[in-house]
Amino acid sequence: MATVTFDHVSKRYGPEVVAVNDLNLEIQDGEFLVLVGPSGCGKTTALRCVAGLEEITDGQLRIGDRVVNDVAPKDRDIAMVFQSYALYPHMSVFDNLAFGLKLRKTPKDQIKRRVDEAAKILGLERLLDRKPKALSGGQRQRVALGRAIVREPEVFLMDEPLSNLDAKLRVETRANIARLHQRLETTTVYVTHDQVEAMTMGDRIAVMRDGLLQQVGSPQDLYEHPVNIFVAGFIGSPSMNFATTQVDEGGLKLGEARLELSAKAAQVAADRPRGSQVTIGFRPEHLELLNGEDSGVVKIPAKVDVVEFLGNEELLHADAQGNEIVALVSSDRRVKVGDLIDFALPIDKLHIFDPETEKSLTA
């Protein structure tokens, strides 16, 4: 097992495209790190750099203590699960799993033992003679995983391995991969564009945007202390509400309404020039309908546009002084479209962002 270190790694395609821009990231031994970000942000490229399928333009990439910039993929002791699975179509499942071991001249009986073991873990025992063509999507996905685990490599690289599965299978497989990682404790870099996958699977999450690393941290860290508007909006579902507020004598005004602030937030507001604007952010699930006597809450007045009933909860779409916001509240209080209501937000759940730099002022 090994660490993976990106040391100022950049990957450019031609003079124009910078797919990965000065990435610094250290992945611990045995860690499950999720690389997440919107499509096209450079996740796959970063992963392919680790695999050795892309030559890096700048910087240094290390696996363990070894600099691998110029090491061929076959000598890096990594295994990769591709988004398309990339199974060998002319080989049986057994041969797909065994291919890497055969190339390493592993003794026959040992190949058999390791393939059987992997097949057992993944429930592939009865499919070993089939060709990939005769497998379902979920089965192919498991073969792709199996091909990685029989090799017992230093590092697993997975590129959106669940994106071709249907919703139900995705949830199941998510848990299976997590279980597999607990069992094998192999360093894993897992790429996804789905923040739910990232939140549920990662020991740590690295959020990327346009080739730039935005923030690295535990799921809880990213959820509670996003460093900028992008991470705040990307992590969490439904995503965070943002509203523009005015800095006023010792506080913030949302339209006509003055906002109650925590000491920290009040300090932030006091440091900004009066009359300037800041962006506030708050999560839908932290909003509640205001009870007359609540204290220690930020009061946010709004007019309800749409009510989406979800069963236990309902999603209220509302207009707060010209800002579209969403609230996730329990569905016992019947709110109707057109109602003027006050939402209550615990004061420590309010994030403040600089609208120019988009950086968090409260993180």
Partner 1 sequence: MSATSTAVTSAKAQRSGGSPIRGWNWMASLFLTPALLLLGVFMLYPVISTIVLSFDRGLGNYIRLLTADRRFLDLSTFPPSGALFNNVLWVVFYTTGCIFFGLLIAVLATRVRYEPAIKAIVFLPMAIAATALGVIWRFVYTPDRDTGLLNALLGIFHLGPIAFLGDTGWVNTALIIAGIWGSVGFATVILSAALKGISTEVLEAARVDGARESQIFRRIIIPMLSLPISVVAVTLVINVIKLFDLIYVMTAGGPGSSSRVIAFTMYQEAFPAGRVDYGAAVAVMMLVILIPVLIFNVRRFRSERVVQ
Q: How far is the CB of 166 from ligand ADP (least distance, A)?
A: 21
Rule CB under 6 A: is residue 182 a binding residue for ligand ADP?
no
* Alpha-carbon span 63 to 76, nearest angstrom: 8
Cβ–Cβ under 8 Å, residues 146 and 176: no
**Residue found by looking up tokens 């069992």 in the block:** 183
Pick between residue 39 and residue 295 the one whose CB is nearest to ligand ADP: 39
Give the shortest CB-326-to-ligand ADP separation in angstroms: 27
Q: How far apart are CA 252 and CA 62, in angstroms?
A: 47
147 binds, among ligand ADP, Mg ion, partner 1, none (CB under 5 to 8 A by kind): partner 1
Task: Kindly tell me which residue out of 31, 35, 44, 350 binds Mg ion, with binding defined by CB under 5 A.
Answer: 44
Using the rule CB under 6 A, is 161 a contact of ligand ADP?
Answer: no
Residues in CB range of 105: below 8 A, 6 or more apart: none
Which residue from 13, 103, 319, 324 is in contact with ligand ADP, where contact means CB under 6 A? 13
- Shortest approach of Mg ion to residue 83 CB, angstroms? 7
Q: How do beta strands 204-209 and 32-36 pair?
A: parallel
DSSP state of 30: T
Using the minimum distance from each CB to Mg ion, give the nearer residue, 44 or 215.
44
CA atoms within 13 A on the CB side of 74: 5
Task: State the binding string over 249-288 for ligand ADP (x if CB under 6 A, else -).
Answer: ----------------------------------------
Label the pairing between strands 32-36 and 187-192: parallel
* x/- map, 17-36, ligand ADP, by CB under 6 A: x-x-----------------
Judged by CB under 5 A, how many residues of this single chain contact Mg ion?
Answer: 1
What separation in angstroms does the CA of 298 have from each of 168, 240, 260, 269, 282?
Answer: 38, 16, 5, 14, 10
Q: Are 236 and 283 in contact (CB under 8 A)?
A: yes
Q: At closest approach, how far in Å is the CB of 47 from ligand ADP?
A: 8
Quick check: 44 binds ligand ADP (CB under 6 A)?
Answer: yes
Nearest to 133, CA basis, from 125, 123, 143: 143
Residues interacting with partner 1, by CB under 8 A? Answer: 51-53, 72-74, 78-80, 82-84, 86-90, 99-100, 103-104, 147, 151
Binding site for ligand ADP (CB under 6 A): 13, 17, 19, 37, 39-45
